[in-house]
Structure formats: C-alpha cells, structure tokens
Amino acid sequence: MAQHVVIIGAVALGPKAACRFKRLEPDSTVTMIDKSNVISYGGCGIPYYVSGDISEPNELRSTIYHMVRDEGFFRNVKGVDVMARTEALSIDRTAKTVHVKNLDTGDEQDISYDKLVLATGSRPRRLPLPGADHKNVHVVADYNDAIAIREKIAKGQVGRAAIIGAGFIGLEMAEAFADMWGVETTVVEVFDQILPNLVSSNLAEMGMKQMQDNGVVFYLGEKVSAIEETADGLNLKTDKRDIPCDIVIMSAGVIPNSELASGAGLEVSNPGGAIVVNEYMQTTDPDIYAGGDNVLMPNLVSGKSGFYPLGSLANRQGRVIGSNLAGLQQTFPGAVGSFAVKMFECSVAGTGLSAAAAEKAGFDVDTAYVVQFDRAHFYPEKELLHIELVFEKKTGRVLGLQALGGKGLSAVGRVDAVASLLPYKPTVHDISNLELAYSPPFASAMDVLNAAGNVAENILAGRNKAISGQEFDELWAHRDTNNICFLDCREVEDARSTVEADPEHWLNIPHHQIKACLDQIPKDRPVVLVCNTGVRSFEAQLGLNAAGFNDTVNVQGGMSGLRNRGKF
Amino acid sequence: MAQHVVIIGAVALGPKAACRFKRLEPDSTVTMIDKSNVISYGGCGIPYYVSGDISEPNELRSTIYHMVRDEGFFRNVKGVDVMARTEALSIDRTAKTVHVKNLDTGDEQDISYDKLVLATGSRPRRLPLPGADHKNVHVVADYNDAIAIREKIAKGQVGRAAIIGAGFIGLEMAEAFADMWGVETTVVEVFDQILPNLVSSNLAEMGMKQMQDNGVVFYLGEKVSAIEETADGLNLKTDKRDIPCDIVIMSAGVIPNSELASGAGLEVSNPGGAIVVNEYMQTTDPDIYAGGDNVLMPNLVSGKSGFYPLGSLANRQGRVIGSNLAGLQQTFPGAVGSFAVKMFECSVAGTGLSAAAAEKAGFDVDTAYVVQFDRAHFYPEKELLHIELVFEKKTGRVLGLQALGGKGLSAVGRVDAVASLLPYKPTVHDISNLELAYSPPFASAMDVLNAAGNVAENILAGRNKAISGQEFDELWAHRDTNNICFLDCREVEDARSTVEADPEHWLNIPHHQIKACLDQIPKDRPVVLVCNTGVRSFEAQLGLNAAGFNDTVNVQGGMSGLRNRGKF
C-alpha cells in the first residue's frame, strides 16, 4: 500500500533514506524538508572547499555524473518532493502530522505522514564566550558557512586564523588555512593533546609535529575565555595568552539536533540529548525513525551507548532506514567509531577504542605500539607506519587500533581491516594471524598489523617489558638522579650522534654484540633499551633476561617514535 | 627442559620458526639445514630484483637495519646454527634423527632432534617439454635463479622473453622484463584468462589490457608443446604458433616438497602431495611440524583443504610453529587465500573465493561488480576501483572479494577489510554496513565496498537484474538478430560517440529523462540498460519496471567496465 513518508533534514541521511525508499516503493511519496536552501551536500568536504582543493562549491553537491542535487533533481530524478527553506516546528504523533513554517513567507502548515524520519543532524557547539557572535567568528556547520569563510580568505581578509578545538574539523580547517592560503594558523585545544580521546598522546604528538612543521601553531591545555574586537581584527583570549587573528573558527564538537524529538515525547539521552533508537533505527515511536548525527548508537566494542556524528554512519544508517520504511527490517547494530583525518602529508586513522577511551569504558588495557614499513622493507617505495593496538590485559581481546602514516592509504587500510573485525571480538592472536593480501609493493609478508599482534602477545605473556615514548621522556628527564643505564642497541654509526650528545648516560652496544659484551652492562642498575623501532631492543631484552639482567625495559617504537614526536 | 630442534629449510618459515622458538627458549638449541648457500631471503621480491627496482640482491636477504641474514647472522645474533649446502635425505622417526649430506664434501651424518620442522617449501613445476632443460629456460625458484636471470638481461642477452603461465610469478616477471628493461615480452597461458581461478574473466581482461597497453603480448588458451633452439635464440612452440625468444620463464605453478615427509611415513595429500597438518601445524607425527609452501590448509570459506603457497602464510605459520615448539599451543586454523599482484600501474587483489572457485567448491553464487572512485568523488585525487563481491545466492553469505585498482593501496585495502572478516561468515548486509574509516581524502562516505554490499542485496532481492560485461558482449555481438534495444542512460554528451557509431541499435535517454520519455522505449523488445558504472542504469531499470517494462537488464560496471576491458 502506498504510504507518505516525511523526512526532516536533507543533507546526508535524509536523501539517502528518501532515495532508497523510493527505489523500493516507487508508488509511495516522500516529502523532504530542510531549513536551508542548499541540500544534499558532502559536509565532510567543506574543509577541502575552504582550502581550494575543491574549486567550486557545487562539486560538494553534485553527483558523480555532474548533476547538482537540488530540489529539481530530487523531484525529477528521484521522485522525492523537497520543501527547502522550511522549518519543522513540532510533531503531533497522535495526528501524525508535522507542523512546518516556510522561512521565506512565514506561512505555516501541517503535513501528514505515515512514517517520519528525523534526519536533523547536529549543530556545532557554540561556546558561550564574550564576543562569540562577532561576524568573523565562524562555525563549520554547513555549506553556506563554507562559502562565507572561503570568500573572506579569497578577498584577502584573513591573514591570521585562530581555531578553537583540535578535533577532526579543527585540524582539517587548520590545514585548509595554512596549506593552500598560507594563513598564519593557531589552534587552541582545552585538552592536553590533539584528537583527545581518539588517539594516544604518542600518535597525537606525532600528528601535531607534522602540522607544526607545516607552520601551524598549537596551544594545548588552554581555555579560551573571550573573543575581543581590536583595531586590526580580533583577539582570541585564552587563560594563558592573547592570540591576534582575523577570523576565529569554533570547532568544539557538535550537539545533536533532537529538540523536535524530545518535544514530541520521544526518548532522548540525558545528558547528551541524542535520540534513542533501536537496531531498526526506530525511535520510541515505531513510526518515527532517526539516524545520523542525532542518535545514540551502541558501541560494538564497549557495549555502551555513544554519540558518533560521522558522515559515513549517516549514509549507511540512511539506507537502513530507507529499507525499513519499505518494510524490509534491516538492522544497524551499532558503531565501532572508525575515523580518518588528513593532516598535510600525514594520515591519522582509528577504529574501536583508544587506550584512554577503553579505560573510561572500564577496561584494563595495554597498548602494543609498532613502527614498521607499510610495504616489504626491500621494496623501494615505502613509508613508516606507526600503529597502536589497544587490548584488554585480562583476555587479550582487541579493543581498538589507531594508526599514523603518510598521506596514502597505508594507515586507513590497516584500520579498515581491524574495523571490520572488531564486532567479532578478536584477540591479539587473531591479529597476529590476520591474512592480509601480500606482495612486496603492497605489504610486508609479516605485515605491520601482524607485528602489532605479535608484540601484544609478547606483552601479555610478560616477555616484552615495554615502556612508551612518554615514559621514556620521564626517565630521561630524571637521568641525573635515577641511576638508569640507557642502552642504545642500534649499529654504532646509527647511534653515534645520540650517544655522543650525552655519553655519560648512553651506552651503545649493537644488539648483535650484546651477548659478547655482557660485562659492559651494569647488573645493579635499571637498563632502558632503545633501538630504531623497538624490534632489536626487544630481542636485546630477551637476551639480557636470559643472562640474568632482570631490571630492563624497552622503548616501544624506539627512536622512530621519539623522533616523530620531536624528541632526539 | 632444553631441547634440540632441527629445521629443514631456511628461506621463510624455517628462520621465522627458529627465531621465535629461540626467543621463547633461549636455552634450547636449533639447527637449521638448507641445500642452498643463500638462506632467509624474500622470495616474493625476486621479480623486483630482476626488474631492477631492487638494485642489490643482498637487499632481499637483509634485515631492515641492513644486516645480511647469512649463517653468521643466525649463529651470532639469533643463536641458531645453520648447516648450509646440506641436504636432508631421510628421517628416522623412531631414532628421531635426520640423515643429511653435505653437498660440497659429500659427507653424510645423522642429526638427532627432539622436534623437527619441515620447512621444505615448494619447487616450480617444470613442464616436461622437449627443450625444457636448455640453459636459457628458467624457473623462478630461488635467489640464485634471480641473479642468473638478471645477469643475462644486464649483459644484453635478452631482447625477447617468453613466459609460460599467467599466474602471480608469470605476470610479475612479465612486468619485470617489459617495464624497466624494455624486453619484448610474451606470456602464454593454457587457460583462457590470466590469473585463472583467482579472479573473474572480467577483472582478468582489465588487468591483461593494462599489461597489453604496456607492451606485453598475451596468448591465452594455448598450450606450449616444445622449446627449440634456433639460429638466433629459442623458439617457444605452442599449439597455435611459434614464439621466437631469447629466454623462457616457466612459471606454471609450484609443487610442494613433501618427499621427505612421505618417505618418513607422514600423511601427504593424494593427489597434490601436500603435507597434512593439524591446527597446531603438527604433521601426523606430533614431534614433526610442517608449514608454508608444503602443507595442506583448510580454506576457511569453503571448508575444503587447499594448497596456498604464499609467503605471507609461511611467515605467520612459522611463528605459530616456533611458539608451539616451545609448548605454547597456538593455532593456525586455515587460510582465506588473500593475494595481491602489481601489474604496471594497476593492482589486482583478492581474498576468499572467486566465482569460479566458489562454484567448483559447490556453491551456487552470484557476483556484484561495482565501479566507484576510491575516495570521495568530489575530492581531487582519486581513481576508479573495480570490485567484485562473490556471494552465495541462497544465503547471501559473502564468499570472496576481488578488486582491481591503481598501483596504490585502494584495492588491497578493501580486500584486507573483507579478508579479516571472511572467517566469520559475513553476509552481504554486513558488507553494506561495514564501518570503514571515512574522510574525503581516503574513502567515500558510502564506500565502494559498502556499495558492493548494497548491489549484492539488490541482486539477491531480484530488484537488480544485472548482466556482466561478457554477457553484454554476447548480446551486442548478436544485435542484428536478437531484436534488443540497447539503451544508454548517460548524459547526451557522454553517450554521443557510442550512439553515433551505431544509431540503429543504440537509444540514448539520460536516466533522469526516462520517466518523461517512456513512449520512446519499446515495450515489446528486451531492453539492455547501460550507463557509466551501473548505478544510473539500475535506477533506470527500477523506473522502467515500475512503468511495466519487465524485460530489462542492466550492465554491471557499465561503460567503465567495458572500456577497461578494451571494448567500446
């Protein structure tokens, strides 16, 4: 029987649900409502339009065959009616109507529905700062924001940009300003690392260093207190400094647009305000669906509910909703929280839980951090990948993977392999044996991912007594008092500059000579073992253990890790 | 208690097992035996040494920190004794000894073992052809072959190369000859496609076209009958032609080296001759382990046993054996058969079963073939990926994925995501929802992999009535008699050259105008729908179905697929 579906919101999930539904039920009708005049665009592409990588804003809302997805497109090609510039004010669930207002004419009306979809998305969190309403303070909420920001840059009005928040949008916008336009760019983050809760401080420092090397300035652990107008622009005030700038981007997270839902008596999380849905993406009213940036999703790793405002989830969920509107009963059981972000020539990606997130979720965790080439080490084209496998100490269960690589797909590819696996609760042993496609131009025979599984196994078994780069920093900082022997296991020529800079604390014995040089190593002092990536130092550790040296640790990721964070 | 482990074979699995074991049991001893003077090298890198991509042969047997893995390295660094140039002649399982012969001195002796590892690998199948023993007929078996072949090229002795077999090694060697050295290269394959049984003829034709565009000549479905010496070199004789050449590479598969095992009464498959092992990699004698290119492995998709001579498996299995020698009881439950091969600027990768392999294994299968950009279509850097998802018709269970992409990691990354999932018996719906890491520079919001899951769902539900490019070829070849209307749904300017070349058979109505132009479409004839990738033709098909046109099919992969196979 033909039905009438009303969809509120027409950016990502809404159009996907609408088109899928119309393909399944061509005789039914769909009305898609949006406040904006611009619908169905790739919001995640906004930083690349601002940067100039994408030249025309219409590219963000064009099909692959260059047709602009406007109201006419949806009406004529997809058979979906669109009411743009229309705001949904309230829902009457008993009458099954949505009360809407035309934002141009002010006319209001009720629209009946058989089924309703809340594709209302999220909005950027606007910090309640003095000066936050200045015309040069922007959020990156939608298509029109993108155009406004780029217009200011193109007109030469932006010499200095200040960005609040070092999450995905903040970092992408920082690159957009600094890379193509050469804008002096400063990022302020209230947490003490970029991408807080998403990656370890280890990977965060490496990523940040990449951006710093490209001219972006970071102030971490600082709180913005006000935005002031000055003679020559703006002043972003933090608790520690003044940052003069011409434009401020506020990218401090997003808030689900769930007021319509809660106003209609649907269940919404508190705190958080995300709409509660079941695995069919139905709200507590089975005729009303919701998905995308406004819903609560089970985390398939922690089992706890979370908020995952990611365009990839919105699209997949939109299709599930479209199917279910037509009676198919498809499920979307939850999210693992996969992400990727490009930072100049570097990529950071992750899936599942970071160590910090896992601890918050109540797991007792450890991390295997491995640095290895992304391809066979004898193949000429290759780059170092840094990956961190987070696992539960008690069970060896894998909880997450985070990776940092070059701007290609090395990091993302490894993350995807684990992302697809995570719902099945793999152990580190499964990662050791993961059968990735191998050929020297594409991977190693024992891939970096397998190596991470191997290291995790050795850590779990107590064979690999490892410390992180940050723990090394701490020991090194107190080297004058902690009586530690720092033993560099690299070849003499590789270790030379390090050792010569502080011969009092460093000892250099290449790992293959350690067995022959045991008498040079102090037995009564702790020994910290370092090599280039952590492989040889682990082997050295085993050799020392076998020889009765029991107070040893080796630095995961070795000098590669330290160097990429800007140490040594 | 310390034990003595003997390992026969020292290329990939042997050294991995030896080193892992020694790390776990430093007090035990290991003797590794190999016929060759060169051990522990990356055999999969041989084509890249022949091509010149890798300049020094030692790079193939060096550690990441540039130490050559020779006998001294194993003895001094790894604590593993090596007997090179030593052949194991027989095993006495009762006495627990291996009888060996020094190939230089001729001396024979018995070596005792507590545990034994058969890391004997495989050898290239030498076709019993007249002339096969000519000095310029090579197999690619080992390090020394690689050096011999490259030496001939470097000396200018190879202007024309003929390769028997279009599997991994054959194709990689063809690239090695043709790309860097400009050698006239011909490949003869007895099956009617390259990579037989591994990918569909669709992807095979695309891959072959890439190589043909780079000058490699292919003769498919031809059987080599002899190799003759001629006045100016060799003549490779097939059942259809003579191929003059200077060198012949025989790459017609490999045979497991299992004679030692069968001679000792261990179970070996018949036919095939691969050693039978349990999930701990133990042979039918629990004190004798085997792994790598000489064992039978359960296929985790089909449940049937198979032979997977892949360096990646050898390394992982070697570690498992090393662990179990030390009493750890690790398992290696089987293989999914992941692979990757580079062919000039193109990559072909796969995991699980191809449609042909799945049918052979008794599944009733269908394939979803999708062509889509590897990144957001609005992102400037991107390339088209061709992927084929093989699934069981009855259950929707995913059986395999094969992909063809550029020379980067796009294809391999998608294959890896499915490879890790396959042991868990995913359905096409799981692929639809697969949560890959997304950001425009790395993927699409609805990634090509998700799209393949979606297409498979629609095929299973009977909504998408699709034909392959080859089926299109067939219909097109008989267009003068089959009364079919070929309907191009692309935009007028995109379709023009196709339609103008044969206006009698082509009709062009852009997909968004079809609803308005139904009267132009014949209702009494079959309609074949084509667009650029298969997305719009599917939508057109749904529209036509809704309008009562029931005899329609759409071409999967559209013109992109046809063009990449060299059609249209």
Cβ B417–A420 below 8 Å, yes or no?
A: yes
Query: Does residue A16 belong to the interface with chain B, where contact is any CB pair within 8 Å?
Result: yes
Amino acid at B87: E
Position B141 scores a pLDDT of 87
Q: Mind telling me how many Å the CA of B435 is from chain A's nearest CA?
A: 6
| Nearest beta carbon to residue B440 from set A48, A419, A532 | A48
Give per-residue pLDDT as tens, A435-483: 999 999 999 999 999 999 999 999 999 999 999 999 999 999 999 999 9
**Residue numbers of A between 101 and 160 with CB closer than 8 Å to B:** none
Cβ A437–B415 below 8 Å, yes or no?
A: yes
CB burial of residue B516 (10 Å; 0-12, 13-18, 19+): exposed
Q: How far apart are CA B25 and CA B29, in angstroms?
A: 8
Cβ A441–B319 below 8 Å, yes or no?
A: no
Per-residue pLDDT for A568 more than 80? no
Query: Does residue B523 belong to the interface with chain A, where contact is any CB pair within 8 Å?
Result: no
| Element holding A123 (H helix, E strand) | strand A122-124
**Residue numbers of B between 334 and 393 with CB closer than 8 Å to A:** 335-342, 347, 349-351, 372-374, 376-380
Position B180 scores a pLDDT of 85
Q: Which of B165, B181, B161 is nearest to B127 (CA)?
A: B165
| Nearest beta carbon to residue B412 from set A314, A319, A437 | A437
Cβ B432–A319 below 8 Å, yes or no?
A: yes
Q: Where are the alpha helices (DSSP H) in A101-258?
A: 143-154, 168-180, 201-213
Cα atoms in the Cβ-side hemisphere of radius 13 Å centred on B219 = 17
Q: How far apart are the first and last CA of chain B?
A: 70
**Residue numbers of B between 189 and 248 with CB closer than 8 Å to A:** none
Cβ A543–B26 below 8 Å, yes or no?
A: yes
Q: How far apart are CA B457 and CA B464, in angstroms?
A: 9
The answer to whether A506 and A498 are in contact (CB under 8 A) is: yes
**Residue numbers of B between 451 and 490 with CB closer than 8 Å to A:** 454, 463, 490
Cβ B338–A439 below 8 Å, yes or no?
A: no
Given its phi and psi angles, is residue A432 left (phi above 0), alpha (psi -120 to 50 degrees) or beta? alpha
Q: How far apart are the first and last CA of chain A?
A: 70
Give per-residue pLDDT as tens, A54-113: 999 999 999 988 899 999 999 999 999 999 999 999 999 999 999 999 999 999 999 999
Cβ A376–B332 below 8 Å, yes or no?
A: no
φ, ψ dihedrals at B289, nearest 5° = -100, 155
Query: Does residue A428 belong to the interface with chain B, where contact is any CB pair within 8 Å?
Result: no
φ, ψ dihedrals at A496, nearest 5° = -50, -55
Query: Does residue B548 belong to the interface with chain A, where contact is any CB pair within 8 Å?
Result: no
| Nearest beta carbon to residue A42 from set B44, B335, B440 | B440
Cβ A419–B429 below 8 Å, yes or no?
A: no
* ipTM for the assembly: 0.95
Q: Residue B559: which residues within 8 A CB-CB, separation 6 or more?
A: B490, B498, B530, B531, B532, B533, B568
Cβ A433–B332 below 8 Å, yes or no?
A: yes
| Nearest beta carbon to residue A379 from set B45, B418, B443 | B45
Q: How far apart are CA A189 and CA B550, in angstroms?
A: 59
| Nearest beta carbon to residue A351 from set B67, B340, B437 | B437
What is chain A's Cα-based Rg? 27
| CA distances (Å), origin A527, targets A514, A558, B388 | 13, 14, 53
Token representation of residue A169? 């949008």
**A-B contacts (CB, under 8 Å):** 292
Tell me the pLDDT of chain B (568 aa) as tens digits: 899 999 999 999 999 999 999 999 999 999 999 999 999 999 999 999 999 999 999 999 999 888 999 999 999 999 999 999 999 999 999 999 999 999 999 999 999 999 999 999 999 999 999 999 999 999 998 889 899 999 999 999 999 999 999 999 999 999 999 998 999 999 999 999 999 999 999 999 999 999 999 999 999 999 999 999 999 999 999 999 999 999 999 999 999 999 999 999 999 999 999 999 999 999 999 999 999 999 999 999 999 999 999 999 999 999 999 999 999 999 999 999 999 999 999 999 999 999 999 999 999 999 999 999 999 999 999 999 999 999 999 999 999 999 999 989 999 999 999 999 999 999 999 999 999 999 999 999 999 999 999 999 999 999 999 999 999 999 999 999 999 999 999 999 999 999 999 999 999 999 999 989 999 999 999 999 999 999 999 999 999 999 999 899 999 999 999 999 998 7
CB burial of residue B399 (10 Å; 0-12, 13-18, 19+): buried
Position B74 scores a pLDDT of 96
Q: Residue B393: which residues within 8 A CB-CB, separation 6 or more?
A: B364, B365, B366, B460
Token representation of residue B473? 């070829």
pTM above 0.95, yes or no: yes
Position A141 scores a pLDDT of 87
